[in-house]
Amino acid sequence: MKRRAIIAATMLALYAVLMAVAWVIGTNKAAESTNAQLDYAVIDLHDTVAGAIDTMLGHVARTAVRHIGSAKPMSLERMAAGAKELDIDEVNTVDRSGRIIASNDPHCLNVMMAGDPVMEPFMKLTNGVTATVSQPFRPHARNPAMRAKYLAAAFPGGDGFVQVGLDERRLSRMLPSILGYIFDEWLLGRTGFFLCADADTGKLISNPSRHRNEARTLAEAGYDAATAARYEVVADGRHYGTTFVQRLFGEKCYCRAFLFGGHRFVAALPEREFYSARDAYGIVFGTLLFVVLAAFAWFIDRVSSDSARLRAFYAAEEARRAKDLLLAETIQTSALPSAPPESPYFRLSAAMTPARSVGGDFYDHFPLDATHYAFLVADVSGKGITAALYMMTAKTLIKDALLAFRTPAAALEAVNSELCHNNPANMFLTAWVGVLNMETGDVSFANAGHNPPAAFRKGEWAYVSAKSGPALALMGGISYEPHQITLEEGDAIFLYTDGVTEALDPSKVLFGEERLANALAAVKPPDPSSLCNVVRAAVTAFEAGEAQADDITVLALRRLAAPRIFSRAFPPSIDSIAVATEFLDEKLGENGSPTSLLPVMNVMLDEVCSNIVKHSGASMFEVDVEFLPNPPSVKLTFVDDGVAYNPLSHKDPDTSLSAEERPIGGLGILMVKKMATSISYIRKHGRNFLSVVKDFA
Amino acid sequence: MTIRSQIDGNKATLSPEGRIDTITSPELEEAIAKIPEGVTSLTLDLSHVDYVSSAGLRVLLGAQKRMGGAGGTMTVTNVCEAVRNVFDITGFSSILTIA
């Protein structure tokens, strides 16, 4: 709300300033416009009146030329009668030499025009071409108080001319007929008007139609001659006076006035008119300005609130992204097998370090059956939650396919086909999949566009450069080539994603395969957990603080030994214990067990089997004898389908009691627990599994 | 299981051979039961016994109680390491008189 108040206040202030400026400019423009209108009006008025007088005098002069006929002397009487008939003040007949040879004024007879500075212009009429010559009103030669205008028309062939003269005081008779039209028809603005009055008496000879009969004199109309005198001029074709203010017919007007032909002409434009124009424009401008500023204010408000909303949106988006990343990372890491497998035949260790923006790396490992173990690493294209979800799908598909098809090549073909079938996001992934035969050490594998793993064989590391198929989900109908390498006991294989080899140091140098090989070679013996830790540490050291760009995934597997396991099942009788003991002794003897171990092993077998036979109600029991290489040890597993019974859950009997106080019972399992290196119990599939490990040492 | 038995007045000596386990301990138990009343000193010579399981311990405990109840003594002799280990684990080392 505070933002809106600031915008509104700013806009109102801007509006006030702009309107004030507009008012000043508008007032000036109105004054200029008024002045210009009055200027045009008075020039037009003067020229029109003067032109009308010229036309009239021309007509009179040409009529006189026709009547007189030629430049010849005529009596004063005839000339006077002619002047009266033509309603003119003076008529002179001038011969070719410029002498007045006939006139209605005896003083004019024989006056020589040629050579007279005032009259000389008329002599052009004797050139045979010029038809009429006119002069403006000017003081009369013999009577300076009088002003007269002369116009002359030539006789045919320039043989002399007739000059007619008009006393301006006679103009009063002619003007109404001229001005009536002008004053009625002409427009001066919308409400402007013209006035004309006798210069001496102030008697109006015309009234503007709007104020007809309201006044008989200029003074009655409100014209203050004393004030106006400073601004009026005698019009001469160049000067028409300057604008001044008068109150006419009760209204303040801007006026121009000039004197012409003994009359005072006034053009008046009511102030109201141009102010109303200015005000009308002002209203329009003000409204438009208001609309524009309001729109501008609305726009600014929108922009600023948009930016506030955008900031909020970005913050929310950032939070959402962070949540997405966390979710993706959770999906990614929770999808990984949680614990390395516990197997006496191989060690496996794996780790994935997600990049800050969560990639799509994953690894997986799981048993296919008792002798085959699958392991793989994969890298899904893209990052974030989409990649994480795609990873889940791919991981499930690969596992299902491996369990169904059992060989990496067939599994990858099936997975690829399935992924290509429905891949709207155009994701893809690379994968290296291997299956270890724990008995033979054979690793069958197939590669879908993934980095070649490194293998430790015959005491040295080398990359497994077998031909790779295309990445998964790129195109359907692909078959993947099956490959195989063999890991002898102690050999290892190291799988990784490109997050390792493409890690960058601060100068953008790649970690690369050579550095990886060197890091691997430094680990002796190639224990899987050490391999993973050393490589990850080497990458971290190489990056030297540079942000990790991609997920880093490592998986190492080392083959320990071929499995040696022997099983036999027995019916639940006391006699079976003896048979089982023989079986155990035989296997111990065959597999290099120290003879010193025999009694201990026999006691343990006796104790467990006698418990099963006597108390479990089992329909059979099984004894598994398993020889473990690391450390050399033997593991006995007793399986029975009797009642669930965990011998380890019982409290040990008190062995400090005297012979009389001793209950007999619980001693057997106590002995087993004390003799064994480790012992464990599990109930699954309706059977009891009790495992006892005894180290050879 | 072979058990040699030698009775001399109020002294008796039993020498089992092999394992004293779930299967053989009933035989030892029987042999001890056959020792006549009046014997106050019983010696178990374990020099030919490979090991003793908890079933055997039960028999030994029973013999110990019988001799003790009659005011006599029972001595276990020539105990091999495996058997000694069993006695130690089960606390029998402190119950039995081992010579």
Q: What is the pLDDT of residue A176?
A: 76
For the residues A180-201, what does the mean pLDDT come to? 80
Instruction: Quote the tokens at residue A26.
Output: 């508008």
Kindly compute the dihedral angle of the four CA atoms of residues A409, A413, A416, A417, in this order, to the nearest 10 degrees. -170
A105: helix, strand or coil? coil
Parse chain B into domains and list their residue ranges.
2-98
All structural domains of chain A:
335-559 (3.60.40.10), 564-695 (3.30.565.10)
Cβ atoms of A202 and A217 within 8 Å: the answer is yes
What one-character DSSP code corresponds to residue A648?
A: G
For the residues B17-21, what does the mean pLDDT come to? 90
Beta bridge partners of A152: A133, A163
Indicate yes or no: pTM above 0.80.
Answer: no
Residues of B engaging A, defined by a Cβ cutoff of 8 Å? 19, 21-23, 50-55, 57-58, 61, 64-65, 68, 80, 82-83, 85-86, 89-92, 94-95
What is the rounded end-to-end Cα distance, in angstroms, of chain A?
84
Closest CA to A532 of A359, A360, A365: A365
Distance of residue A654 Cα from the nearest chain B Cα, in angstroms: 8
- Which among B53, B65, B82 has CB closest to A660? B65
Range scoring the smallest mean pLDDT among A26-30, A171-175, A430-434: A171-175
pLDDT at A325 over 80: no
Cβ-based contacts of A656 with chain B (< 8 Å): 91, 94
The H or E element spanning position A419 is helix A408-421
Distance of residue B15 Cα from the nearest chain A Cα, in angstroms: 19
Distance of residue A626 Cα from the nearest chain B Cα, in angstroms: 22
pLDDT at A247 over 80: yes
For the residues A10-16, what does the mean pLDDT come to? 89
Of residues A84 and A144, which shows the higher confidence score?
Answer: A84
For the residues A352-364, what does the mean pLDDT come to? 79
Q: What is the pLDDT of residue A329?
A: 76
| Chain B interface disruption, residue of A579, A667, A673, A679, most B CBs within 10 A | A667
Chain centre distance of CA A36: 53
Residue A92's Cβ-side half-sphere holds a number of Cα atoms within 13 Å equal to 26
Q: What is the pLDDT of residue A663?
A: 65
Instruction: Kindly report, residue by residue over A415-447, the tens digit of the pLDDT.
Output: 999 888 877 777 889 999 999 998 889 999 999
Q: What is the pLDDT of residue A359?
A: 67
Instruction: Kindly report, residue by residue over A372-416, the tens digit of the pLDDT.
Output: 999 999 998 877 777 788 888 899 999 999 999 999 999 999 999
For the residues A448-455, what does the mean pLDDT come to? 94
Range scoring the smallest mean pLDDT among A63-72, A329-338, A506-515: A329-338
For the residues A318-342, what does the mean pLDDT come to? 77
Distance of residue B50 Cα from the nearest chain A Cα, in angstroms: 6
The CATH class, in words, for B2-98 is alpha beta
pLDDT at A562 over 70: no
For the residues A43-71, what does the mean pLDDT come to? 87
Cβ-based contacts of B70 with chain A (< 8 Å): none
Quickly state the pLDDT bin for A659 (edges 50, 70, 90): low
Of residues A330 and B77, which shows the higher confidence score?
Answer: B77
Query: What percent of chain B clears pLDDT 90, i.e. is strictly above it?
Result: 33
Q: How many helices (H) and strands (E) does chain B have?
A: 4, 6
Test A659 with B95 for CB contact under 8 angstroms. Answer: yes
Instruction: Kindly report, residue by residue over A197-239, the tens digit of the pLDDT.
Output: 888 888 888 777 677 778 888 888 888 888 888 888 887 777 8
pLDDT at A357 over 70: no
Cβ-based contacts of A607 with chain B (< 8 Å): 53-54
Range scoring the smallest mean pLDDT among A6-15, A67-76, A297-306, A631-640: A297-306
- Which among A577, A598, A599 has CB closest to B22? A577
Q: What is the pLDDT of residue A27?
A: 83
Closest CA to A611 of A665, A664, A571: A665
CA–CA separation, A413 vs A408, rounded Å?
9
Chain B residue with CA closest to A612: the answer is: B22
| Chain B interface disruption, residue of A605, A654, A671, A673, most B CBs within 10 A | A671
Instruction: Kindly report, residue by residue over A146-171, the tens digit of the pLDDT.
Output: 788 899 999 988 889 999 998 887 77
CA–CA separation, A166 vs A57, rounded Å?
8
pLDDT at A658 over 90: no
**A4: how many CB neighbours lie within 10 A of its CB?**
13
Cα four-point dihedral sign A407, A409, A413, A418:
positive
**ipTM entry:** 0.86
Of residues A434 and A172, which shows the higher confidence score?
Answer: A434
Q: What is chain A's mean pLDDT, rounded? A: 87
Residue carrying structure tokens 């079933």: B55
